[in-house]
Amino acid sequence: MPQVNIDLINHKGTEASKEVIDEIRESILSQGQHHPLLVKATSDGRFNLIAGEKRLAALKGIQTEIDCKVYPSHLTDNEIFEISLHENLKRWNLPWYEQVTERAKLHALRVKIHGEKVNGRPKISTKPQGWSQADTARELNLSIGQFSEDLMLANALQTNPSLAKVKDKTTALKLVKQQAKREIAMTEALMPAEIEMDQILLGDSLSILPNLPPNTFDACITDPPWTEYARDAELTADDSTMAVFKEVYRVLKADSFLYLICSTTDFFTYHKLLPTFGFRVQAYPIIWHKTGTITHGRRPFEYARDYEPILVASKGSPVLVPTTEQSAILRFESMHYTRMIHPHEKPIELLERLIRDCTWDGGKVLEPFAGSGVTLEACKKLGRQFIGIERDQDFYKNIVKRLEKNGKSKTG
């Protein structure tokens, strides 16, 4: 391997940090130079650096000569660039973000030379064959799936350089895919539905839902009748209650949410049966801690009953709107009975929180057991579209009045 005088090598310097350069210098001094620099000879006896700028920076001022692989002066710029890319990709310790960037550059170079091939045919090409992602994947000995993910990461790094701070490639890819889903959901939320929205409908959900188009709603947020509610038989679940959720699944979009506020007993019932309709169910509930609740009639060994579970399920694999992990404990004061227009009424702040977590502005929310109408009011306040269904005529009238206070809504 020829040695070249360091002072004869032309290079523009490196953007690498001092810490990185010092680490490379220490490694070379203790273990030797495992990889030569790649240089191109020039007509004046000097050399242009092709690859190895960090190694060159690390050894300047310490060594006068360095091992190099010398290429002839007639190499074209594209050939030099290709050599540099392949040299970098051979490094065993290449960080994931540099790896995907170098692979993307190699693909761009191939397309520049051969033209782009789309669906097996050249898109724009000076040569008949064109070049596809599959061709680059084959050159790099990768599957087309792996290479497509690398391109996705490389593009994401261009718009969000801070992604390079993520330590491992798997986590970075997960974050990029989640962000892509958020962007799709944000766009789709503003698309018009096949049905007129912002309606409260009078009737039984099991009769009305089959008339709604499939794949319409971004979320269903509901508080269905409980299977055990001794104070009012009209508010107790019947044989049709569970069947409603088969229709709910149908009218929800792919990658959408179901929030189901329920009793502790019903949580386990729904947890077992909802997957039979296709839902994926979170193994544990969200806990709504009803702050300020005073419970009576407890036996001496019992704790206060100051919470309600909220079951979370999905159709597909949606992502929450917040990008940070959310606590499963939600603290909101329960409604005082003197302000309730329905025995099961929940505080509007709780519903607003759930709506913000799972929908974007303009998103479409279904409430098949509208009850007090609080979910629908929360939707109006937050700029979400909604369809509510209520079978009790008195509760239905109360919902209509409630919504009229916050602007016009449609009834049916």
Same domain, residue pair 157 and 233: no
Least confident of 18-27, 272-281, 312-321: 18-27
Q: In 305-352, where do the E strands start and end?
A: 307-315, 329-333
pLDDT band at 304 (very low <50, low <70, confident <90, very high): confident
Q: 138 and 227 share a domain?
A: no
Whether 156 and 204 map to the same domain: the answer is: no
Give yes or no for a contact between 406 and 383, defined as CB atoms under 8 angstroms apart: no
Here the CATH number for the domain that contains residue 46 is 3.90.1530.10
Q: Are residues 210 and 342 in the same domain?
A: yes
- At residue 381, the pLDDT reads 95
Across the chain, what does the average pLDDT equal? 87
One domain for residues 68 and 213? no
| Residue 192 in domain | no
Average pLDDT over residues 140-161: 92
Q: How confident is the model at residue 128 (pLDDT cuts 50, 70, 90)?
A: low
CB 259 within 8 A of CB 312: yes
CA nearest to 135, candidates 122, 126, 146, 144: 144
Whole-number percent of the chain with pLDDT over 90: 47
Average pLDDT, integer, range 94-111: 90
- pTM for this one? 0.68
Same domain membership, residue 162 and residue 81: yes
Helix%, strand%, coil% for the chain, nearest 5: 40, 20, 35
Would you say residue 125 has pLDDT above 60? no
* Mean pLDDT of the region 62-82: 84
CA distance 318 to 181: 7
The DSSP 8-state label assigned to residue 235 in this structure reads: G
Q: Are residues 35 and 174 in the same domain?
A: yes
The pLDDT of residue 233 is: 59
- Answer yes or no: is 191 within a domain: no
DSSP letter assigned to residue 126: S
The amino acid at 251: V
Q: Are residues 271 and 308 in the same domain?
A: yes
Give per-residue pLDDT as tens, 169-184.
999 998 898 888 888 8
Beta carbons of 46 and 9 less than 8 angstroms apart: yes
193 belongs to a structural domain: no
pLDDT of 235 reads: 62
Residue 194 lies in a domain: no
What total number of domains does the chain contain? 2
Q: CATH number for the domain including 342?
A: 3.40.50.150
Report which of residues 6 and 293 the model is more confident about: 6
Convert the pLDDT of each residue in 222-263 to its tens digit: 999 887 654 555 666 677 889 999 999 999 999 999 999 999
Same domain (yes/no): 209, 61 = no
Q: Decide if 190 is inside a domain.
A: no
Quick check: is 55 in a domain? yes
The reply to whether 279 and 135 lie within a common domain is no
Is the domain of 288 the same as that of 153? no
Q: Which residues constitute the domain of residue 368?
A: 199-411
User: Of 247, 222, 240, which is closest to residue 376 (Cα–Cα)?
Assistant: 222
Domain termination site, one of 185, 212, 247: 185
* Domain boundary pick from 141, 156, 185: 185
Show which of 157, 185, 213 is a domain's final residue: 185
Residue 92 shares a structural domain with residue 156: yes
